[in-house]
């Protein structure tokens, strides 16, 4: 009997090892298709195994593409040119296109080098959209429920709801899991897609409530860096394919695609304001707000005023403006003047500059690409249109 048990365990281990190795040799698209087919076949355990593997493979794919983009975006001019001859020698206006060509070549080489041979460098947009919309977690919560793993089912449902908070079906599912397993507590549910800055933000708030100001400083300083990293990654991910649904000329196509990507980048601030389904529209400025108070409590006036001014350039607040008036009455600040102390932090200024630039450009597009119904109106450039006549920009 003992020998049979050992043999059985060895078989299980061998099967698990082979299954794990098999998932490594497949792209996230292939793994996702297998997971969905397993779901349709009522094979709940393979549904879970392959769905989790597809999520891990998708995250790895995104990380590789992000690293390639960050590296290739650094290419400028002909300093790192891969072309046999520079186009700039013919025409200075070609500098932009030469840089673009070099970056494209860099991206192609980077993907070929870093992605496995089984990975599709041009994934199916509909599958990418399902991952981005977290449909994967809809399948996952259902499969976990079928094998009665209610805690995992609840976490998967919560992860889906964090992005799709208006889904009444998923709300009902989560309520069902929590009623069926009374040990589950809402505050203990885990968003499996939570970004690191969210954790730092929550820990910073917790430390603030406990008046542990050293920890407040530590968590929010980390949070500022993590938020900006997440913001940059979000913007990088916006450089993606765009199906216009028609075939415009070169100039219109370029303008349309650029505007599509720009609008996507503008939405990153809103996306990052989502903390597990709760929206903090001023989450980034709030980090500076807590830092200015914590630094003040640690008697670091200079860092406190820098954080305060960083908050004020990003978010208009009467409360923080009142704090500034208090600082202005301090002897050390009166002695040297306001400009010496109230200097926004570099990263806050750079962030604000990009946000303003994007907003101004989009506003300009929306203001200028408006026309009367009279086709004889030729006061400005004609907007690119779809087959339905709708303006794309």
pLDDT digits (tens, 9 = 90+) for 185-195: 999 999 999 99
- Whether the per-residue pLDDT at 51 is higher than 50: the answer is yes
Report the pLDDT averaged over residues 335-351.
87
Tell me which residue of 349, 62, 361, 55 sits closest to 230, measured CA to CA.
Answer: 62
- Name all contacts of 328-332 with Cβ < 8 Å and 24+ positions apart: 330/301, 332/301
Percent of the chain with pLDDT over 90: 63
Tell me which residue of 238, 192, 223 sits closest to 65, measured CA to CA.
Answer: 238
Q: What pLDDT, on the 0 to 100 scale, is given for residue 25?
A: 76
Altogether, the residues listed in the chain come to a count of 393
Q: What is the mean pLDDT of the chain?
A: 86
Distance CA 73, CA 361 (A): 21
Report the pLDDT averaged over residues 243-268.
91
- The two tokens of residue 253 are 């196509």
| 98 Cβ contact partners less than 8 Å away, ≥ 6 residues apart | 77, 78, 81, 83, 86, 87, 88
With cut-offs at 50, 70 and 90, classify the pLDDT of residue 99: confident
Q: What pLDDT, on the 0 to 100 scale, is given for residue 352?
A: 97
Q: What pLDDT, on the 0 to 100 scale, is given for residue 22?
A: 62
Q: What pLDDT, on the 0 to 100 scale, is given for residue 202?
A: 96
- Adjacent-strand bridge partners of 275: 278
Q: What is the pTM of this model?
A: 0.84
Distance CA 74, CA 371 (A): 39
């Amino acid at each position: 009997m003992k020998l049979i048990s050992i043999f059985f365990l060895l078989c299980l281990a061998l099967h698990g090892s082979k299954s794990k190795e098999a998932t490594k040799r497949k792209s996230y698209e292939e793994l996702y298709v297998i997971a969905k087919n397993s779901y349709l076949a009522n094979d709940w355990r393979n549904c879970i195994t392959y769905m989790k593997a597809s999520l891990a493979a998708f995250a790895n794919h995104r990380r590789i593409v992000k690293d390639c983009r960050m590296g290739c975006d650094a290419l400028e001019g002909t300093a790192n040119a891969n072309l046999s001859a520079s186009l700039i020698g013919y025409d200075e206006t070609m500098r932009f296109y030469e840089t673009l060509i070099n970056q494209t070549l860099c991206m192609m080489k980077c993907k070929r080098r870093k992605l496995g041979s089984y990975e599709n460098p041009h994934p199916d947009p509909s599958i990418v959209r399902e991952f981005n919309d977290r449909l994967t977690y809809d399948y996952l919560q259902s499969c976990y429920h079928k094998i009665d793993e209610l805690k995992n089912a609840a976490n998967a449902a919560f992860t889906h709801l964090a992005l799709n908070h208006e889904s009444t079906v998923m709300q009902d599912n989560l309520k069902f899991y929590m009623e069926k397993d009374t040990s589950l507590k809402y505050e203990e549910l885990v968003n499996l897609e939570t970004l690191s800055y969210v954790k730092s933000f929550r820990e910073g708030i917790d430390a603030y409530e406990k008046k542990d100001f050293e920890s407040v400083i530590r968590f929010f300083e980390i949070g500022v860096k993590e938020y900006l990293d997440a913001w940059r990654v979000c913007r990088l991910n916006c450089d993606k394919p765009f199906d216009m649904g028609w075939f415009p000329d070169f100039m219109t196509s370029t303008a349309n695609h650029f505007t599509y990507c720009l609008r996507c980048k503008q939405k990153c601030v809103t996306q990052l304001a989502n903390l597990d389904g709760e929206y903090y529209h001023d989450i980034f400025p709030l980090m500076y707000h807590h830092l200015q108070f914590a630094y003040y409590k640690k008697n670091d006036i200079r860092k406190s005023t820098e954080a305060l001014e960083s908050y004020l350039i990003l978010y208009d607040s009467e409360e923080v403006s009142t704090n500034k008036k208090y600082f202005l009455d301090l002897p050390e600040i009166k002695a040297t003047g306001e400009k010496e102390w109230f200097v926004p932090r570099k990263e806050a200024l750079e962030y604000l500059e990009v946000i303003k630039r994007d907003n101004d450009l989009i506003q300009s597009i929306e203001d200028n690409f408006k026309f009367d119904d009279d086709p004889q109106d030729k006061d400005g450039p004609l907007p690119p249109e779809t087959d339905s006549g709708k303006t794309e920009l």
